[in-house]
Amino acid sequence: MAFSDDYFDEESPVEKLRDILCNIDGKQKLARRFRALYSLKAVVERNANDPKKAKEVIDYISECFNHSNSELLKHEVAYVLGQTKNLMSAPVLRERLCDEKEYCMVRHEAAEALGALGDQGSLEVLTKYFKDPKEVEPVRQTCELAIERIKWAHSEERKHEKLQKSLYSSIDPAPPMPLDADGAESVEKLKNLLNDQKAPLFQRYRAIFRLRDIESDEACKALGSSFNDPSALLKHEVAYVFGQIGNPIAVPYLTEVVNRDNEAPMVRHEAAEALGSIASKNVVPVLKEHLNDRDVVVKESAIVALDMYDYENSNEMEYAEIIN
C-alpha cells in the first residue's frame, strides 16, 4: 500500500507500538495496527546506525507474524521488513517464504522483500522456489523477480544506468527503465513492453515503474491496459503503482478490477487500497460495497482504504495514533 511519509507517528514508545501492532489486548482495530507498523518502520530507519536498537525493533515487527491471522496485515509486515533497508530482516523473511502453510500473499511478499533488501544470501532459497514446478504462480514469479533484482543491485550494469530520480521512497521489485534505454521516453513503446507476455517479467516490471515515473494521463492509461494480463502478480503491481501516482484517472480501472467476480484476491485487494490512496469522493461508495466482501483480504483492504481516505481528506497533520 502507498503510504505518505506522515502516515505514522515515529515518536510513540516502541513497546506500546509493538503491543498495538500485535494486538496484545485484543482490542486494536486493523487500521490502528497498520499505523503502528509504519511507525515502527520509521524507528528502524532512524536507528540505521544503531544495530542493536534496529534489531530490537525489527524483532518487534516480526512478532506480528505470530500474533495475527490477518493475511493482509502479515503481508504488510513482510513488505515493511523489506523496506527497512536492513539485512537483519532477512532471516525472518526467509522463514516466512519457506513456510508452505503460510498464506500465499505473505510468502509472495516475503520473497519480494528479500529482493528489496538485495540479499545475496537469499538467492539459494529464492532459486529453489522459482524452479519448483509445483509452486503457486505468484510465489514462483515473485522469486524470479527477486533473483533478478538482487543480481541487478550487485551488478556493474547498475552503476552505469541513468535512472530518473524517483519521487517515491519505496524500494520497488524492479528499477525503472533507464532513461537512455530504447523507448524509455515513449509511452507507447513502454505500453507494448508491459503487455508483451513473451518478454522477461523483470523487463515488464521495469516498464511499469518507468510509466509510474512519467506520471502523465497517457502513462496511466498505458498502465491500465495491462489489467487483462494473465499474471495476477503483474496486475497487483500495476494497482499498487496507481495508488502511488494518485491520479483520479485510474479510479475507473481500479473500480472495475475490485468488482471483478473472477479476479485473484491479491489483485482486488491492491485495487481497493489504491482507491483509498487516491482518495477522490467517488471511491467511497465502491469501498463501502466491499466491507463485507467474500474475500477477507479484500474486506480488510477496504477497511484500511477508507481509513486512508478519511486521513487524506482531513486536516490531520499526521495519520497516526498519538501514544502517551
DSSP-based three-state secondary structure for 50: coil
DSSP-based three-state secondary structure for 197: coil
Task: Return the amino acid letter for 171.
Answer: I
Contacts of 254 (CB under 8 A, 6+ apart): 239, 242, 271, 272, 274, 275, 278
Task: Return the amino acid letter for 130.
Answer: F
Closest CA to 236 of 260, 200, 217, 216: 260
CB contact at 8 A, 253 and 242: yes
**What is the C-alpha end-to-end distance of the chain, expressed in Å?**
27
CB contact at 8 A, 131 and 124: no
C-alpha cell of 199?
518478454
C-alpha cell of 299?
474486506
Annotated binding site: 75-76, 108-109, 236-237, 269-270
Report phi then psi at 137, rounded to 5.
-60, -45
Annotated binding site for Fe cation: 75-76, 108-109, 236-237, 269-270
